[in-house]
Chain A
């Protein structure tokens, strides 16, 4: 049949064409480290610490659902000659195991020096007690969306720095210096220059974590309350501190814990499973009784359902990017939090 000959000719042509156009092996740079992160937030932090000593890339784009990232061939190639792989370390990046398997890079497998689990040492929220399965939680090891809490960035930075120092011990001092500068930057952003100078970032962070910061700030010092000296994000967030809101999914735990928003309910606690009639009615009543007027929704969710909820209850759905680069104007973590706080302030009036 004519078609068979055509097919054979076609096959031959393609074969010749592609053998002439072999993909060249990527040469790794001139001594710069190759760092690959799962998310853009970690990449942003890594860049602040490694600066020009490393080429930092990330896999999941800022507006993607972090639970599921469809694998592309280039991802495995990126990982193949990476020196460091930076990941959350809880069960969020389930999609990364196949990528790591295919990349077959021994240096970045779990347990090797190139594997950085940034959640080590972070104060994890929503941990499930052993044996308690009644909540039916998706994330058994606690809430993995640690990037939303600025306090966690300091721990993340520590872990990234350790990773860098392991693979590149010559530049230890450099990484330590950058890490400390970054942590100081976070402190100032959170508490304001003045308060950080007076009391010190570490002490303030501890108090914020233990929820004792504001009792402390209500004390008087030299005639006025310390709280007058508060600056930075915490000051900016005062208008919505202690307000009650709902969230679409459990993305915002750390942010809300830090800035005092009380999330009293979730619309869709398990991704992909629409809520039951009972839960829907419960949420509608909750929103009405408590006069909730803000619902936080990560921008990777489709808009239809939140909009339907808006129509039904009068609540305001605020779509926020979950990661750096989720929106064009957010290019690093600090801008991300600025974006969040500004928008929440605008909406919660």
Chain B
């Protein structure tokens, strides 16, 4: 038993960190209704990696990683600037378009690069079980300043997220766009860092499911932040445990547990007699 815990210690630490950061962002994402943004970002990041490889850098070099980040941040900044008071095309639709164009270009470029199928969203797998303490440490280093930024601007971000369903902006358009820029750039960095470690589906579910679960029951931001972190972390733990005992693939196990949990809660809410 002790042996297992030692083996799982780094992955569990990674899960705590990722569950925390992702569930935090997830709350905002849910309120803004741009659910699939992380899948789009992951594909754009993959495309950025491909561009780096095409420019001649070797797979292991830092330049390729840099190109991935750079490309992602450029695209996501452009996206941040597409926020208008009245959206002709909704932001989720824009995300959809970015995703499918990104995937389309990746498929065309794929011919030129060996191992091309690895840059296509469905196959961006990762396995958090192989994570090492040094990687966990790196994640912490990267996420800490982002956390600080978000603590400083928490009021502004929550206000914009709350307002996204109405046509009225809480600040001037220019000011909103600057906040959006900061928000999405930090978000992009988090996603680009997390996906190679955890895989696209695990990142997605940690982003969406815990917050969906808690937002069914409350709209209070503080409660949502705390509970979504807890749910995300517990779900991951349970997933790893069942992956172990049932001998199933790890990421999918966590996804199924968290996902089904949300649906169960949704149906419970649906059939509850009266709202208390």
Q: What residues make up the interface of A, taking CB atoms closer than 8 Å to B?
A: 63-65, 68, 70, 72, 272-281, 284, 299-305, 308-309, 311-312, 326
Q: Is the CB of B250 within 8 A of A312?
A: no
Q: How far is the CB of A318 from chain B (nearest CB, A)?
A: 14
Query: What are the residues of chain A within 8 A of B246 when measuring CB–CB?
Result: 276
A281 to B127, CA, bound (A): 12
Query: What are the residues of chain B within 8 A of A326 when measuring CB–CB?
Result: 114
Q: Is the CB of A274 within 8 A of B125?
A: yes
Q: Is the CB of B114 within 8 A of A275?
A: no
The residue on A at minimum CB distance from B10 is A312
Residues of B231-276 contacting chain A, CB below 8 A? 240, 243-253
Query: What are the residues of chain A within 8 A of B126 when measuring CB–CB?
Result: 274, 304-305
A305 to B199, CA, bound (A): 11
Q: Is the CB of A70 within 8 A of B110?
A: yes
Q: Is the CB of B7 within 8 A of A299?
A: no
A63 to B251, CA, bound (A): 28
Q: Is the CB of B115 within 8 A of A278?
A: no
Partner of A275, one of B60, B107, B127: B127
Chain A binding site: helix, strand, loop or mixed by DSSP? loop
A277 in contact with B118 given A303-B60, A305-B126 (CB within 8 Å) = no
Residues of B114-146 contacting chain A, CB below 8 A? 114-118, 123, 125-127, 129-132, 134-135
Q: Is the CB of A299 within 8 A of B114?
A: yes
Interface size class of B (residues with CB under 8 A): 35 or more
Q: Is the CB of A272 within 8 A of B114?
A: no
A276 to B4, CA, bound (A): 14
A309 in contact with B130 given A272-B125, A276-B244, A281-B7 (CB within 8 Å) = yes
Q: Is the CB of A308 within 8 A of B247?
A: no
A280 in contact with B127 given A275-B250, A303-B60 (CB within 8 Å) = yes
Query: What are the residues of chain B within 8 A of A279 when measuring CB–CB?
Result: 247
Partner of B249, one of A72, A274, A281, A302: A274
A311 in contact with B134 given A274-B199, A280-B250 (CB within 8 Å) = yes
A275 to B250, CA, bound (A): 7
The residue on B at minimum CB distance from A72 is B111
A63 in contact with B132 given A277-B244, A281-B4 (CB within 8 Å) = no
Cβ of B96 under 8 Å from chain A: no
Q: How far is the CB of A118 from chain B (nearest CB, A)?
A: 24
Q: Is the CB of B110 within 8 A of A65?
A: no
Q: Is the CB of A280 within 8 A of B115?
A: no
A308 in contact with B131 given A278-B244, A302-B118 (CB within 8 Å) = yes
Q: How far is the CB of A136 from chain B (nearest CB, A)?
A: 10
Cβ of B189 under 8 Å from chain A: no
Q: Is the CB of A300 within 8 A of B130?
A: no
Q: How far is the CB of B217 from chain A (nearest CB, A)?
A: 31
Q: Is the CB of A63 within 8 A of B127?
A: no
The residue on B at minimum CB distance from A274 is B127
A326 to B7, CA, bound (A): 36
Partner of B115, one of A65, A273, A274, A275: A65
Cβ of B34 under 8 Å from chain A: no
Cβ of B59 under 8 Å from chain A: yes
Q: How far is the CB of A281 from chain B (nearest CB, A)?
A: 5
The residue on A at minimum CB distance from B239 is A277
A277 in contact with B130 given A68-B117, A302-B118 (CB within 8 Å) = no
